[in-house]
Structure 1
Amino acid sequence: MNVMAKAEKKISSAFIYFFGSFGGILFGYDIGVMTGALPFLQADWHLENAASLVGWITSAVMFGAIFGGALAGQLSDKFGRRKMILMSAIVFMVFSVLSGVSPDMGEASAYYLIIVRMLLGLAVGAASALVPAYMSEMAPAKARGRLSGLNQTMIVSGMLLSYVVDFLLKDLPGEWAWRLMLGLAAVPALILFLGVLRLPESPRFLLRKGDEAQARKVLSYIRKNPAEIDQELASIKETAKEERQANQKTSWSTLFSGKYRYLVIAGVGVAAFQQFQGANAIFYYIPLIVQKATGQAASSNLMWPIVQGVILVVGSLVYMWIADKFNRRTLLMVGGAVMGLSFILPAVINWMMPNMNPMTIVVFLCIYVAFYSFTWAPLTWVLVGEIFPLAIRGRASGLASSFNWIGSWLVGLIFPIMTASMPQEAVFAIFGIICILGVIFVKTCVPETRGHTLEEIEEQGTNRGRVKASNPEN
């Protein structure tokens, strides 16, 4: 027992934060890998004129993630964040390999790959829900924005990694290229599994299960000041005590009770808007977007995803620098406004100047990606991790993740269908309007969380719920 305790004490806070957020690599790799694999898969399976089937193959992971996020959220409240992250890594490894060895059976091959990628999506959705919750529960309030932002850095690093892998494999025979692109996703999943084996459980989950001694030990790894540990433990215990006194049993209806409704709508709404704003249309289909704009073959445009990936990584680092210097709401509203204009202006310019250079839309997409990368991309997951009260955090984080993936799935599914029936500029203008609606939502429905402890944020929501209950006309 003493040997185990000594081994545990060697766990550094840097190791905890790194592997606590490493699940984002899996998330990001699978978002990005199909960008490069799709042109080769289309040619190998003769799917060039099958827009619906291409949309389903691309979006199948997101469809599975809808259910993976909700399921993992509930199970993590019962078994813990750490165990569920380990399970996600195993599922990810298995179905990544099965994607890469898809049998060539004609049209049936496409349906096999769709089903396998849906099951892979269970792990991707679980990671998207579990990692922000784990990181927010480990990080101190004053650094929670920056440390939770590690999740976004991992996501975009995973995307960039997949773009580079796609580019390096593009000269292989078509069948081998896409198979290796998809199958190599098992490598970061294995690294995640080995790293998380040494991670401790979240102190808030441990306290919720009554293990105060272990919760204190975990906090000692990541808090330097003993007084800070005592204060945080007391704050968490007080919240847990109030929940026990109320004999509260959480259910889906609990999420929308007067006490929690305000915070749940805010968190789930931000998660949904992040995807319905259309970012993943760029990330999944940028080679096809450039092909439609310039006439060049999509398989020869695999440098553009790398450009987008570099912008995303740089933006995530910018976010970590400014995360705790600006209010969350301010960054979301400024970012959303610029993103909306970046989508709307190409349609306006094309209407005024029909002979517009076709690459103009790609330039505006780069501006969109730049602002998305340090505002909505990281802040969505920071908010999802910190806005929900302890009693409902697992379930509510899962719900937010599911709505996020519903948006991602729909965008991935319908974008090729929309661009087959209308100009690209018009499609992106629709997404631009949704960006502006997201700005309005943040201004009217989302509380400020920067610098507040998780317990203070819960109190804000409770007070707001009481005001709404006593003044229903407001």
Structure 2
Amino acid sequence: MNVMAKAEKKISSAFIYFFGSFGGILFGYDIGVMTGALPFLQADWHLENAASLVGWITSAVMFGAIFGGALAGQLSDKFGRRKMILMSAIVFMVFSVLSGVSPDMGEASAYYLIIVRMLLGLAVGAASALVPAYMSEMAPAKARGRLSGLNQTMIVSGMLLSYVVDFLLKDLPGEWAWRLMLGLAAVPALILFLGVLRLPESPRFLLRKGDEAQARKVLSYIRKNPADIDQELASIKETAKEERQANQKTSWSTLFSGKYRYLVIAGVGVAAFQQFQGANAIFYYIPLIVQKATGQAASSNLMWPIVQGIILVIGSLVYMWIADKFNRRTLLMVGGAVMGLSFILPAVINWMMPNMNPMTIVVFLCIYVAFYSFTWAPLTWVLVGEIFPLAIRGRASGLASSFNWIGSWLVGLIFPIMTASMPQEAVFAIFGIICILGVIFVKTCVPETRGHTLEEIEEQGTNRGRVKASNPEN
């Protein structure tokens, strides 16, 4: 026991933050890796004209993630954050390797890979939910506000890493290229597993299990002032008590009662719009988009994902710089407007000038990614974290996350089907209209949360509920 305590005391907060952030890199790597693998996989398995299968192979991870996040949240309350992160890393490693060694059995191979990637998605969804939660519970209160921006930076860094790996492996024989791209996802999962092995359990979970002595011990490793430890323990106890009382008084129907309906619609709506605006169509299919625009082979266009990845990383850093300088609504509306125009203008230009340079659409996609990276990408989760009152926070946050994953899955699934049946410019114009609808939604349905306490935000929902009750025809 003394040896274990001695080992845990050597753990620094920097080590905890690194491996908390590394979970974001793991998540981002898997989002991006199929971008480079898909052109080689299509050629190897002759799927060039199988749009629905391509969509399912690409989106299967997001489909699994819909269930992975919800399942991990419930299991982590029973077994602990740390154990579930370790389990997620193991699942991630196993199914990454199984993806890379997919048997070549004709069309049956595609169904095998779809199932394996669905199971891999359970780990992706779990990691995306568990790692930020663990980090926020370990971090001091003054650092929590920056974690959402830091987590976003790590996710897009993981995407950029996968794009670079794809580019470096592109000259291998086709079958080896895509298999290594998918299989190497096991490496960051192994690093995460080995790192988390050294981490202690969350103090919040320990207190919920009644182990105050161990919770105090863990806090002593990462807090310097004993008075801060006492204050934080008392705060965790009080919050846990309030959450238990809230859970006893609320149900799923409570989310849509007059008092909370406005805030639930706002938070869940923003989470859904973030995905239905079409960002993942770019992240998953940019080589195929360039191929369709220029006629060049997708496998020779793997520099474009790296360009997108660099833009995403720079944008996430820009967000961390401007996050507290502008209102949330302002950034979302400006970002959404530019994103919408970036999708709509290529269709308009192509209609007016049918002989336009085919790379024009790619330039506009880069503009879209730039504005998405410092507005809707990080702000969605900042707003979701701020907008839900304590009484409904657990259920409402889970609902928002589910709608976000559903949107991600559907976009990944239907984009190749849409582009197989209509011009690319028309497909992106549809996403552009959704972006504009997102701006209108933010303008009319989303309250400003920057600089407001949770109580003030909840009061906005209460007041809106009273107005609706007194004017039911509105």
Length-normalised TM-score, structure 1: 0.90
Q: Is the 8 A contact 2:344 2:428 kept in 1?
A: yes
Report the CA distance shift for 1:169/1:93 in structure 2 as closer, same or farther (over 3 A): same
- Residue number in structure 2 paired with 1:182: 182
Tell me how far apart the structure 2 counterparts of residues 175 and 233 of structure 1 sit (CA, whole Å).
Answer: 54
CA-to-aligned-CA distance 1:51-95 (integer Å, 9 cap, x gap): 111111111111111111221122223333322222111110010
Tell me how far apart the structure 2 counterparts of residues 461 and 74 of structure 1 sit (CA, whole Å).
Answer: 28
Report the CA distance shift for 1:89/1:468 in structure 2 as closer, same or farther (over 3 A): farther
- Residue number in structure 1 paired with 2:455: 455
Report the CA distance shift for 1:386/1:24 in structure 2 as closer, same or farther (over 3 A): farther
Is 1:295 the equivalent of 2:295? yes
More off after superposition, 184-193 vs 350-359? 350-359
Q: Give the C-alpha shift of residue 295 in structure 1.
A: 0.8
Q: Is the 8 A contact 2:246 2:392 kept in 1?
A: no
The 3-state SS of whatever aligns with 1:248 is: helix
CA-to-aligned-CA distance 1:97-138 (integer Å, 9 cap, x gap): 000000111111111011100100111111222233334444
Q: Percent identity?
A: 99
Tell me how far apart the structure 1 counterparts of residues 145 and 57 of structure 2 sit (CA, whole Å).
Answer: 34
Report the CA distance shift for 1:332/1:53 in structure 2 as closer, same or farther (over 3 A): same
More off after superposition, 350-359 vs 43-52? 350-359
CA-to-aligned-CA distance 1:205-236 (integer Å, 9 cap, x gap): 44444444444554555555666555554444
Tell me how far apart the structure 2 counterparts of residues 457 and 5 of structure 1 sit (CA, whole Å).
Answer: 43
Tell me how far apart the structure 1 counterparts of residues 250 and 75 of structure 2 sit (CA, whole Å).
Answer: 13
Q: Give the C-alpha shift of residue 407 in structure 1.
A: 0.7
Q: Give the C-alpha shift of residue 393 in structure 1.
A: 4.9
More off after superposition, 335-344 vs 383-392? 383-392
Q: Give the C-alpha shift of residue 239 in structure 1.
A: 3.5
Q: Give the C-alpha shift of residue 243 in structure 1.
A: 4.3
Report the CA distance shift for 1:277/1:323 in structure 2 as closer, same or farther (over 3 A): same
CA-to-aligned-CA distance 1:414-450 (integer Å, 9 cap, x gap): 1011111111111111111111222233334434444
Which gives a bigger RCO, structure 1 or 2 (Cα 8 Å, sep 6+)? Answer: 1
- Residue number in structure 2 paired with 1:142: 142
The 3-state SS of whatever aligns with 1:247 is: helix
Length-normalised TM-score, structure 2: 0.90
Report the CA distance shift for 1:141/1:402 in structure 2 as closer, same or farther (over 3 A): same
Q: Give the C-alpha shift of residue 399 in structure 1.
A: 2.9
Report the CA distance shift for 1:464/1:93 in structure 2 as closer, same or farther (over 3 A): farther
Q: Is the 8 A contact 1:32 1:283 kept in 2?
A: yes
Tell me how far apart the structure 1 counterparts of residues 2 and 217 of structure 2 sit (CA, whole Å).
Answer: 14
Q: Is the 8 A contact 1:90 1:189 kept in 2?
A: yes
Report the CA distance shift for 1:185/1:247 in structure 2 as closer, same or farther (over 3 A): closer
The 3-state SS of whatever aligns with 1:47 is: coil
Q: Is the 8 A contact 1:52 1:417 kept in 2?
A: yes
Report the CA distance shift for 1:6/1:256 in structure 2 as closer, same or farther (over 3 A): farther
Give the 5 Å matches for 1:54-69.
54-69=54-69
The 3-state SS of whatever aligns with 1:246 is: helix
CA-to-aligned-CA distance 1:285-327 (integer Å, 9 cap, x gap): 1011111111111111111011101111111122222223333
Q: Give the C-alpha shift of residue 356 in structure 1.
A: 1.7
Tell me how far apart the structure 1 counterparts of residues 93 and 240 of structure 2 sit (CA, whole Å).
Answer: 36
More off after superposition, 172-181 vs 130-139? 130-139
CA RMSD of aligned residues (A): 2.9
Q: Is the 8 A contact 1:133 1:385 kept in 2?
A: no
Q: Give the C-alpha shift of residue 7 in structure 1.
A: 3.3
Q: How many residue pairs are counted as aligned between the two chains?
A: 474
Q: Is the 8 A contact 2:8 2:221 kept in 1?
A: no
More off after superposition, 166-175 vs 75-84? 75-84
Report the CA distance shift for 1:203/1:55 in structure 2 as closer, same or farther (over 3 A): same
